């Protein structure tokens, strides 16, 4: 029985069915029975590997095709009506042209397969900040992951009603089956036929050819950031690539922090931080995305639109992020990791021994194995993932599903810089905070070989690949939100956990000790401590950021807090050069902040 009378939804499903010609259509209900049935089916076909029930209860591993292991930025498009509205950070194709290309690919693409209709809510079902999406897919892997990552249920259809609005998300792996044809273990289309297309004016997502991660779980980056950022710009709210945490002091006062960091800067670690400050407690609300709207009291309220964590596995360990590891102790999905000989999972830098098993390519594997060229073969893909239920995180906040959201007190931006940027500084104003977010930067890593000889990689608000419209208009929207919030706007800070000595030694211990920096921020918000003015912002007065119990020599602390005007002027030159590409769309208030910073630096 079809579980809805929503005419628009029924017409869309019928249109897609006629175009894609699946063998059958299944409306998903989000039930445990549905999840279990699909897993049994995928184990039977060899797509899924059932893990050892005693070691990893109700958990499964998948290995993707080697051509389908990550987001494909070069095949990801913003198809706005006008090219200028996509801006310089996006790939643009005319929407009509792109639809013609993709309709040809979609024609008959689900032949021999089941078409699943997934009703899902991004955010608690019925929340005034949440949005309803409907994903159509021919991938059972997508269905089970969406069960964890979004709120999939018939309740979503009840909220939608007979005439409610939804965001249509069409996905196909692009691998039709002829009668009698044997299916591959991970069906997908070749790279030149992969498309992840966003039509922001229509709130529409079309994805074809990839079965992996954000290319296929369309509630995540596609809806929750690219489409949502464009919606938020039009509707006056915020969709951001930010973690959300609650930090509670010994007196029980709660502070809510939203933080944006470029990749490899410890975002998930901070979201699940174990505080080392006596009496202070961190609780996780979200590890990746924040949707924020102004409440009736004038404050900014945030929800985590997701229901799970889609975390990078390598490097997740007991010492780095025990809470993330605990979140996937059961009921989890693992993609492109090692399946050990005893039926558990393993990845590089997990911090536990592994004697061997099968690697992410499904080949026999042992630690230290080398290829013909003598290179060590990694067991897990560098972008291997775990899909874990947020409710299983030991430090999940009791209000993480509060439909009203939590009031944000603090915005934190950061990057990975071995020099120049001190451990922490606070913006003089919200406008300066926007400038900090707009110029968030990291030093290029070996993974960024396409950048050439640039000294910095800028990633405004950690949103570069996810802004669904012109980045200059997006930055202006931050200023507009600040104006709207007025005195209720969150205080803005910038952090850098990654300062090093000249000989490459970390100056700051990081991990749980970062809670000391968060405490100073909260003390600033509460008016408990003053700050000293520097050309770049407000910084801790010695003694206000507690170092009790840490072995940090005075000269190291001085280096951590050093503001070198010459180095900052060089960074400002890089920032001006980067921001120039936004042309006339670069907000005048960004230019004003750069000029004022230059004047303060002397």
**Helices marked H in 130-254:** 140-149, 154-160, 213-216, 228-235
Token look-up 């080949």 returns 363
- The C-alpha torsion from 170 through 174 and 180 to 183, rounded to 10°, is -100
Strand partners, 105: none
Could you give the angle at the alpha carbon of 102 between the alpha carbons of 100 and 105, nearest 5°?
115
**Helices marked H in 176-250:** 213-216, 228-235
393 catalytic? Reply is no
Residue 475: name the closest of 595, 592, 571 by CA.
592
Q: Helix (H, G, I), strand (E, B), or coil: what is residue 260?
A: strand
- The C-alpha torsion from 289 through 220 and 194 to 115, rounded to 10°, is 180
Residue 493: name the closest of 250, 128, 247 by CA.
247
Tokens of 241: 């690539």
**Is there a contact between 485 and 404 (Cβ–Cβ < 8 Å)?**
no
**Helices marked H in 358-450:** 430-438
Could you give the angle at the alpha carbon of 590 between the alpha carbons of 240 and 302, nearest 5°?
20
Strands 195-199 and 204-208: antiparallel
- For the chain, what is the radius of gyration of the CA atoms? 24
Residue 584: Cβ-neighbour burial (10 angstroms; 0-12, 13-18, 19+): exposed
What whole-number distance in Å separates Cα of residue 321 and Cα of residue 287? 12
**Residue from 222, 265, 354, 397 carrying the catalytic annotation:** 265
Mention every residue, 6+ apart, whose C-beta is less than 8 A from residue 416: 262, 264, 265, 442, 443, 496, 498
Please give the DSSP secondary-structure letter assigned to residue 328: T
What whole-number distance in Å separates Cα of residue 317 and Cα of residue 325? 7
Strands 48-50 and 76-78: unpaired
Phi, psi of 32 (to 5 degrees): -60, -40
What whole-number distance in Å separates Cα of residue 63 and Cα of residue 487? 50
Token look-up 């901070």 returns 270
For the annotated catalytic residues, the residue numbers are 265
């Amino acid at each position: 029985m079809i579980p809805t009378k929503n005419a628009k939804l029924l017409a869309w499903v019928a249109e897609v069915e006629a175009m894609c010609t699946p063998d059958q259509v299944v409306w998903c209900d989000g039930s445990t029975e549905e999840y279990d049935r699909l897993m049994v089916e995928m184990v039977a076909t060899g797509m899924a590997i059932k893990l050892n029930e005693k070691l990893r209860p109700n958990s499964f591993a998948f290995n993707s095709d080697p051509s389908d292991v990550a987001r494909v930025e070069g095949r990801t498009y913003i198809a706005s009506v006008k090219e200028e509205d996509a801006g310089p950070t996006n790939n643009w194709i005319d929407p009509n042209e792109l639809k013609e290309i993709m309709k040809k690919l979609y024609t008959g693409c689900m032949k021999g397969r089941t078409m699943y209709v997934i009703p899902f809510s991004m955010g608690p079902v019925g929340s005034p900040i949440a949005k309803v999406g409907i994903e159509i897919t021919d991938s059972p892997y997508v269905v089970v992951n969406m069960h964890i990552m979004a709120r999939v249920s018939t309740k979503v259809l009840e909220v939608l009603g007979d005439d409610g609005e939804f965001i249509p998300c069409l996905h196909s792996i692009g691998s039709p089956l002829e009668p009698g044809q044997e299916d591959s273990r991970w069906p997908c289309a070749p790279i030149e036929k992969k498309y992840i297309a966003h039509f922001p004016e229509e709130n529409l997502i079309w994805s074809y050819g990839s079965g992996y991660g954000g290319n296929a779980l369309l509630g995540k980056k596609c809806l929750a950031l690219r489409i949502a950022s464009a919606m938020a710009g039009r509707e006056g709210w915020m969709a951001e690539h930010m973690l959300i945490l609650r930090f509670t002091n010994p007196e029980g006062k709660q502070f809510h922090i939203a933080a944006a960091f470029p990749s490899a800067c410890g975002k998930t670690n901070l979201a699940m931080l174990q505080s080392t400050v006596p009496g202070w407690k961190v609780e996780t609300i979200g590890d990746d995305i924040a949707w924020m709207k102004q409440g009736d009291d004038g404050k900014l309220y945030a929800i985590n639109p997701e229901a799970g964590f889609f975390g990078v596995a390598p490097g997740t360990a007991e010492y780095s992020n025990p809470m993330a590891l605990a979140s996937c102790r059961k009921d989890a999905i693992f993609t492109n990791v090692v399946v050990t000989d005893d039926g558990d999972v393993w990845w590089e830098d997990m911090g536990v021994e592994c004697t061997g098993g099968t690697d992410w390519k499904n080949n026999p594997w042992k630690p230290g194995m080398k290829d013909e060229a003598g290179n060590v073969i990694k067991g897990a893909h560098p972008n291997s993932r775990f899909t874990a239920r947020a409710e299983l995180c030991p430090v999940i906040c009791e209000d993480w599903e509060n439909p009203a959201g939590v009031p944000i007190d603090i915005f934190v931006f950061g990057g990975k810089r071995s020099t120049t940027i001190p451990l922490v500084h606070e913006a003089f104003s919200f406008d300066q905070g926007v400038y900090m977010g707009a110029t968030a930067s990291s030093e290029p890593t070996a993974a960024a070989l396409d950048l050439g000889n640039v000294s910095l990689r800028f990633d405004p608000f950690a949103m570069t690949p996810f802004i669904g419209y012109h980045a200059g208009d997006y930055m202006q929207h931050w200023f507009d939100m600040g104006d709207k919030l007025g005195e209720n706007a969150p205080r803005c800070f910038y952090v850098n956990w990654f300062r090093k000595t000249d000989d490459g030694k970390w100056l700051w211990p990081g991990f749980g000790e970062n809670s000391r920096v968060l405490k100073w921020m909260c003390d600033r918000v509460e008016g408990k401590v003053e700050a000293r003015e520097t050309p770049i912002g407000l910084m801790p007065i010695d003694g206000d950021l507690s170092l009790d119990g840490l072995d940090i020599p005075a000269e190291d602390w001085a280096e951590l807090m050093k503001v070198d005007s010459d180095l900052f002027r060089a960074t400002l030159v890089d920032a001006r050069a980067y921001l120039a590409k936004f042309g006339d769309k670069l907000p005048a208030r960004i230019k004003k902040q750069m000029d004022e910073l230059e004047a303060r630096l002397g």
